[in-house]
Amino acid sequence: MTRQQLTASIKQQALDIGFTKVGVTSAQSFDKAADRFNMWVRSGAHGTMQWLERNPEKRRDVKEIMPEARSILSLALNYFSTSDASGKAESTEADPLKISRYAWGTDYHEIIPPMLRRLLADIQTLVPGAAGRYYTDTGPLLEKPIAERAGIGWIGKHTNIITREVGSWVFLAELILNIELDVDPPAEDMCGTCTRCIDACPTQAITAPYQLDATRCISYLTIELKPEHHIEPALASNMDGWLYGCDVCQNVCPWNRFEQPTAIMDFAPRVKNLALRPDEIEAMAQEEFSKRFRKSPIKRTKLAGLKRNLKALLGTHVTH
Ligand code: B12
Ligand code: SF4
Ligand code: SF4
């Protein structure tokens, strides 16, 4: 099999497994992106996410993770879901307490790793001796710069990857391989003169095009900021009903008019978890929280985090 044929069959396998888009880039280091990343961390824009300070050399160069790396497969998985398995519409903008779309169904950290494992096994059947390391979200990788260089999509001014095909409602994953594959051309920036995301951000977290001050971002405040920390009233008063995560910058992006329903039924909204009422959260005990948010991204914020977020919102304009 030629390299071209091998690349094509691996890509086809990724699509057969259910990934929405797949691209290939080399294992060369990501110097410019890593320099920007380091500057961002030095500026303190990562807030309390101290884990981002670790492993800068791995983020720059995947060969620090896997010395024999030759190529990186970048994978995108569409998670845009609009209804649950029974076809019922989701609860969303109209709700006083809003949950970001990525957290409506089963946690992608549960869904994507088995898909990556299967893909690696398929590749090993095609190429005996092939070895790989896979990641989604939690690894010390610059997933967005990898996706951009592999042609998956460009980093929009809101700092998320946007695909031409289905917009930005995609999760990213990578498979680092010890085999040479044909690389794809990098994606081109298609934001143009648009500034909708910057203008719409309720807390002015996008401080300049392509630059996010995480400490102002509702997603950070409601998910990553530890429950023992309070959300500053000046930010809380602009949280606009977002209880967990935030989708404003993606909701307003014109490229998301290309959104398509995901084929992954596990991303379908768990309707009961979305239509949360303030009194329900206030009264919720740990046992119920654990049961209700099992395998849901929402468990990340912990019960105390959810209650803290609610308090931040109630201190402002959400009414019972
Ligand atoms: C830390 C983190 C966060 C932080 C910081 C967000 C951020 N923008 O980086 C917080 C908690 C705020 C967050 C929020 C969200 N996250 Co998050 N997060 C991550 C994580 C773990 C690391 C990202 C990172 O390295 N950030 C650091 C900064 C420096 O990186 P950056 O924004 O990419 O900056 C680069 C560019 O902006 C560019 N750049 C900077 N300046 C300039 C200037 C010019 C001129 C140009 C051209 C480029 C440029 O260079 C920078 C360095 O490479 C990744 C997973 C991973 N391992 O990569 C997921 C990830 C980025 N998150 C994801 C998601 C889904 C979200 C949310 C949508 C969840 C939600 N609905 O609430 C929000 C989106 C908020 C937003 N507007 O970005 C997805 C994004 C998928 C996609 N389509 O891009 C990822 C990739 C996880 C995954 N595997 O799918 N997240
Ligand atoms: S996720 Fe929300 S708070 Fe964060 S940058 Fe986007 S619009 Fe702003
Ligand atoms: S809203 Fe406009 S500027 Fe922001 S990411 Fe989308 S296209 Fe780019």
Structure tokens at 261: 């329903």
CA pair distance 180, 158, nearest whole angstrom: 33
pLDDT in tens, 123-173: 999 999 999 999 999 999 999 999 999 999 999 999 999 999 999 999 999
- Whole-number Å distance, alpha carbon 186 to ligand 3 midpoint, is 18
pLDDT of residue 96: 75
- Whole-number Å distance, alpha carbon 157 to ligand 3 midpoint, is 5
CA pair distance 57, 201, nearest whole angstrom: 32
Name all domains of the chain by residue range, CATH numbers in brackets. 3-83+106-177 (3.40.109), 196-260+270-314 (no CATH)
- Residue 246 Cβ inside 6 Å of ligand 2? The answer reads yes
Mean pLDDT taken over the chain: 94
- Residue 245: nearest ligand to its CA? 1
- Residue 149: nearest ligand to its CA? 1
| Per-residue pLDDT tens listing for the chain (320 residues) | 899 999 999 999 999 999 999 999 999 999 999 999 999 999 999 999 999 999 999 999 999 999 999 999 999 999 999 765 444 454 455 567 999 999 999 999 999 999 999 999 999 999 999 999 999 999 999 999 999 999 999 999 999 999 999 999 999 999 999 999 999 999 999 999 999 999 999 999 999 999 999 999 999 999 999 999 999 999 999 999 999 999 999 999 999 999 999 999 999 998 878 889 999 999 999 999 999 999 999 999 999 999 999 999 998 544 43
Q: 283-320 in b/e burial notation, b at 16+ Cβ within 10 A?
A: ebeeeebeebbeebbbbebbbebbbbbbebbbeeebee
Q: 78-117 in b/e burial notation, b at 16+ Cβ within 10 A?
A: bbbbbebeeeeebbbeeeebbbbbbbbbbbbeebbeebbe
pLDDT of residue 271: 80
Closest-CA residue, ligand 3 atom 2, reads 194
137 is catalytic: yes
- Whole-number Å distance, alpha carbon 117 to ligand 3 midpoint, is 33
CA pair distance 190, 187, nearest whole angstrom: 9
Q: Is the pTM of this model over 0.85?
A: yes
pLDDT of residue 320: 38
Q: Which of 160, 199, 248 to mutate to test the pocket of ligand 2 (most atoms within 8 A of CB)?
A: 248
CA pair distance 164, 156, nearest whole angstrom: 11
- Residue 219 Cβ inside 6 Å of ligand 2? The answer reads yes
Task: Kindly report the number of other CB atoms within 10 A of residue 245's CB atom.
Answer: 23
Give φ, ψ of 244 to 5 degrees: -150, 110
- Whole-number Å distance, alpha carbon 232 to ligand 1 midpoint, is 22
Distances (CA, A) of 241 to 74, 96, 129, 289: 34, 6, 52, 20
pLDDT of residue 317: 45
Set 31, 137, 199, 279: catalytic member: 137
Q: Which of 42, 144, 163, 170 to mutate to test the pocket of ligand 1 (most atoms within 8 A of CB)?
A: 144
CA pair distance 91, 276, nearest whole angstrom: 10
Give φ, ψ of 286 to 5 degrees: -55, -40
DSSP 8-state symbol, 317: T
